[in-house]
């Protein structure tokens, strides 16, 4: 673990005016608060916040951010409170620590609708102070570097979350080095065989062709020196995941993949960037359509660089990035460059973007999103996309994600222009609306009064803004007809369970389904975006489940081969709604385990027996047994009342066993038959709320299946 003095020395290297006493005090306070806590690896827990702080010193961040890193887990995991942190280190640090704590508590790997809501919260946290997400990214990076000490299923969950959310977010913020490392660390967990295969191919290639990087770097330095250009040349091999992604995208094997090496030329000024570009293109042949000028058209996160790909005599392609030193600093730290220090003062980098404006620009297009799934789709498109730059007839630049069409362009200008679009001209020629736009093209949108969006546009548009506007317009076209039809469907659905479709019931359903109004609910019901069962279930979940079509137990699991049977593992007793994995057994079919079952560890070295499975999304009958352990008061009538509570939750008691009897309490195991995980959660909450129930837990035993059965 890095000592306080060494950490302060790292900060002092770029900020001689740092408040060393304040950092030392935070170090001592954090160490005291985390005293006695240990990581899974056995190390003192405080080694983690110190490592996070050290990562942030590499980005030359201010004292407040470094102190926040040292304290980022104190409010969540120790006795320290917001007030104590504010009193000792000021409101700024307390606010940052609290922001990181709230981000940590977001379950970003949950199902889609909830994930969209968490993205919205994430952007709200970022909008208050972007340093919160910088600390969180450094926190995730260190956790990924030390992920081997975690349980296998937890590694997979964290790696997938990192690949889906944190890595693209780091890239979007301009911190490309962090994105690449997060991706590669996740790749090591999610597909270790593929990663090792690429590394082995690299070693073989190096033996066959020698040190390509050193040779090309030397050639570039020589050519630049001949041209009188002072520049630093850096070369590197692409990360294994980057290569794997290119192989997947291009559907090519490693041997056919050419641009696996990247080089950076860092010059003294912008003029030399373009001179260096000319020198490189004179010496090596430029690859068509692989040129991007992000100096004249910078990315929204401040990134500036010239990108080109060249081909040598042997046909091997290499990517070359050309930028100035100041541009390089922003390229390394992205939006974080706003807080960077150099020689004791805030770095005055002209290319660093204002983080407040950056977050505002990122979130502006999502403010009008009505559907959570639309919002999530737009966020992911925005994070993952590269950009193309097109020109309006007046010469204005319009930035769009790669793969955008004239429909996306029209909606980027204004929703009214998009909705009235009837055609487009690209570089003066009429083109179909599904045409993919390219860098530098001039686009003119042809509009007509009375035109409305077409359903087919949803297959053409790629940006979240365009797709959301199209969906909204399509809903409005037949809104009144859909509302009338929806009202009839709702009436029929409520009557089916013996209830009336009152305004209050419909308003309640709309609120539970996160819709703004009753009319919005009816319109979606009439347009088949919702079913009557969905609406009834939102108000009367128990009645809807009773009356809904039941999924036969033999067809409850999706993902099995034809004729393959399954049984639930007795060790974890998985329920519909839980994530599940199947383990094949010769002569027994498939045994289904919950994804977090300890018993799966016995099969880690037999991946060929693992099958990805899912529960059927329909309504299941209450036939799935689960064991509960209860500790209840030893008073007259308590046991009877507990059994009544279980019955009222539509759960059937199949067995009951007293585990321990004491003068003041009973401990018993109750086997109940349930339909899904939601019913289990509801039942456990009801039991926990009873004053005579001291504890209720789901009982899980150790796996008993032999691991040798193939």
Strand locations in 325-440 (E): 341-342, 345-346, 387-391, 397-401, 421-426, 429-431
**Residues whose CB falls within 8 Å of the CB of residue 307, separated by 6 or more in sequence, listed in order:** 290, 291, 292, 293, 294, 319, 320, 321
The pLDDT-based confidence of 267 (bands split at 50, 70, 90) is very high
CA dihedral 413, 416, 422, 424 (to 10 degrees): -10
The pLDDT, as a whole number, for residue 229 is: 93
What is the pLDDT at residue 708?
A: 39
According to the model, what pLDDT value does residue 338 have? 60
> What's the whole-number mean pLDDT along residues 654-671?
79
Q: Which CATH architecture has domain 193-346?
A: 2-Layer Sandwich (3.30)
**pLDDT surpasses 70 at 541:** yes
Q: What is the pLDDT of residues 106-115, one digit of tens each?
A: 655 544 445 5
Contacts of 571 (CB under 8 A, 6+ apart): 593, 597, 598, 599, 700, 701, 702, 703, 704, 705
For the residues 256-269, what does the mean pLDDT come to? 79
Q: Where are the domains of the chain?
A: 4-190, 193-346, 359-474, 478-540, 553-615, 624-698
C-alpha distances out from residue 659 to 108, 628, 631, 652, 697, Å: 39, 12, 10, 20, 14
Instruction: State the pLDDT at residue 112.
Output: 45
Of the ranges 92-96, 491-495, 649-653, 659-663, which is most confident? 92-96
Task: Inform me whether the pLDDT recorded for 704 exceeds 70.
Answer: no
pLDDT surpassing 50 at residue 683: yes
Segment 369-397 shows an average pLDDT of: 62
* 597 CB neighbour count, 10 Å cutoff: 22
Give the range with max mean pLDDT: 189-198, 312-321, 566-575.
Answer: 566-575
CA–CA dist 370, 372 (Å, integer)? 7
In this predicted model, what pLDDT tens digit does every residue of 190-240 receive, in sequence order? 888 888 888 887 777 767 666 778 888 999 999 999 999 999 999 887 788
The pLDDT value given to residue 587: 67
- pLDDT given for residue 633 in this prediction: 84
Query: What is the CATH code of the structural domain delimited by 359-474?
Result: 3.10.20.30
- At 611-634, the pLDDT tens digits run 888 888 778 888 899 999 999 888
pLDDT in tens, 335-347: 666 666 555 555 5
Rounded CA-CA distance 374/119 in Å is 12
CATH architecture of 624-698: 2-Layer Sandwich (3.30)
**Rounded Cα distance, 120 and 472, in Å:** 20
Active site residues per annotation: 76-77
Distance of CA 86 to the CA centre of its chain: 31
With 70 as the cut, is the pLDDT of residue 254 above it?
Answer: no
Residue by residue, DSSP assigns 216-267 as HHHHHHHHHHHTT--EEEEEEEPPHHHHHHHHHHHT--GGG----EEEEEEE
pLDDT digits (tens, 9 = 90+) for 40-63: 888 899 999 999 999 999 888 889
Beta-carbon count within 10 A of 20 CB: 16
Residue 344: its pLDDT value, please? Answer: 53
Instruction: For domain 4-190, say whether CATH 1.10.3210.10 is its number.
Output: yes
pLDDT at residue number 231: 93
Whether 117 has a pLDDT exceeding 60, the answer reads no
**CB neighbours (10 Å) of residue 184?**
17
pLDDT confidence bin for 707, thresholds 50/70/90: very low
Computed over every residue of the chain, the mean pLDDT equals 81
The kind and range of the H/E element at 293 are strand 292-293
Q: Residue 542 pLDDT more than 90?
A: no
* CA gap 293, 296 in Å, rounded: 6
Q: Which residues have a Cβ under 8 Å from the Cβ of 460 and sit 6 or more positions away?
A: 405, 407, 433, 434
Task: Give the pLDDT confidence score for residue 515 in this predicted structure.
Answer: 86
- Report pLDDT digits (tens) over 322-379: 999 888 887 777 766 666 655 555 556 666 666 556 666 555 545 545 554 555 555 5
């Amino acid at each position: 673990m890095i000592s306080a003095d060494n950490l302060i020395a790292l900060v002092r290297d770029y900020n001689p005016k740092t408040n060393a006493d304040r950092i030392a005090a935070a170090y001592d306070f954090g160490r005291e608060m985390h005293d006695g806590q240990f990581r899974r690896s056995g190390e003192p827990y405080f080694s983690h916040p110190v490592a996070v702080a050290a990562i942030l010193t590499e980005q030359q961040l201010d004292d407040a951010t470094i102190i926040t890193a040292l304290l980022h887990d104190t409010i969540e995991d120790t006795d320290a409170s917001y007030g104590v942190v504010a009193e000792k280190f000021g409101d700024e640090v307390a606010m940052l620590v609290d922001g990181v704590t709230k981000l940590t508590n977001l379950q970003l790997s949950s199902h889609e609708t909830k994930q969209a809501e968490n993205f919205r919260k994430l952007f709200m946290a970022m909008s208050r102070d972007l340093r919160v997400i910088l600390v969180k990214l450094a926190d995730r990076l260190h956790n990924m570097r030390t992920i081997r000490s975690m349980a296998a299923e937890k590694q997979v969950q964290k790696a997938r979350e990192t690949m889906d959310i944190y890595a693209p977010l780091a890239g979007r913020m301009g911190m490309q080095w962090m994105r690449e490392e997060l991706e590669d660390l996740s790749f090591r967990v999610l597909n270790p065989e593929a990663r090792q295969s690429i590394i082995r191919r690299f070693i073989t290639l190096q033996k066959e062709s020698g040190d390509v990087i050193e040779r090309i770097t030397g050639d570039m330095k020589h050519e630049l020196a001949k041209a009188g250009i002072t520049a630093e040349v850096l070369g590197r091999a692409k990360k294994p995941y980057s290569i794997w992604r290119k192989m997947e995208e291009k559907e090519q094997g490693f041997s056919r993949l050419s641009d696996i090496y990247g080089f950076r030329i860092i010059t003294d000024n912008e003029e030399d960037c373009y001179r260096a570009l000319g020198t490189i293109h004179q010496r090596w042949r430029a690859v068509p359509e692989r040129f991007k000028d992000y100096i004249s058209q910078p990315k929204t996160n401040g990134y500036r660089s010239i990108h080109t790909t060249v081909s040598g005599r042997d046909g091997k392609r290499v990517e070359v990035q050309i930028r100035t030193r100041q541009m390089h600093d922003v390229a390394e730290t992205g939006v974080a460059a706003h807080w960077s220090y150099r020689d004791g003062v805030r770095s005055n980098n002209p290319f660093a973007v204002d983080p407040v404006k950056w977050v505002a620009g990122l979130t502006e297009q999502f403010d009008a999103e009505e559907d959570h799934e639309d919002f999530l789709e737009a966020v992911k498109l925005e994070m993952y996309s590269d950009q193309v730059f097109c020109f309006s007839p007046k010469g204005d630049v319009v930035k769009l994600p790669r793969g955008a069409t004239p429909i996306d362009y029209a909606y980027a200008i204004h929703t009214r222009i998009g909705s009235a679009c009837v055609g487009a001209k690209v570089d003066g020629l009429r083109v179909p609306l599904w045409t993919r736009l390219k860098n530098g093209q001039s686009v003119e949108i042809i509009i007509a009064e009375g035109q409305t969006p077409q359903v087919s546009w949803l297959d053409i548009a790629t940006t979240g803004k365009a797709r959301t506007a199209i969906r909204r317009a399509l809903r409005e076209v037949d809104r009144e007809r859909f509302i009338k039809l929806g009202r009839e469907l709702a009436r029929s659905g409520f009557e089916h369970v013996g209830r009336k479709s009152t305004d209050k019931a419909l308003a309640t359903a709309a609120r539970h389904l996160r819709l703004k109004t009753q009319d919005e609910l009816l319109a979606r019901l009439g347009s088949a975006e919702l079913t009557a069962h969905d609406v009834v279930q939102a108000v009367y979940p128990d009645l809807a489940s009773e009356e809904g079509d039941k999924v036969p137990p033999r067809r409850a699991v999706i993902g099995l081969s034809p004729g393959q049977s399954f049984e639930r593992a007795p060790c974890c007793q998985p329920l519909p709604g839980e994530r599940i994995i199947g383990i094949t057994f010769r002569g027994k079919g498939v045994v289904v385990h919950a994804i977090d079952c300890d018993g799966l560890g016995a099969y880690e070295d037999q991946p060929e027996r693992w099958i990805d499975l899912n529960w059927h999304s329909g309504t299941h009958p209450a036939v799935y047994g689960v064991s509960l352990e209860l500790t209840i008061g030893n008073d007259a009538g308590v046991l009877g009342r507990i059994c009544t509570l279980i019955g009222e939750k539509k759960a059937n008691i199949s067995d009951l066993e007293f585990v321990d009897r004491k003068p003041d309490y009973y401990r018993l195991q109750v086997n109940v038959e349930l339909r899904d995980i939601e019913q289990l959660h509801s039942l456990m909450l009801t039991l926990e709320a009873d004053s005579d129930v001291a504890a209720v837990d789901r009982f899980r035993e150790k796996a008993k299946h032999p691991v040798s059965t193939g």
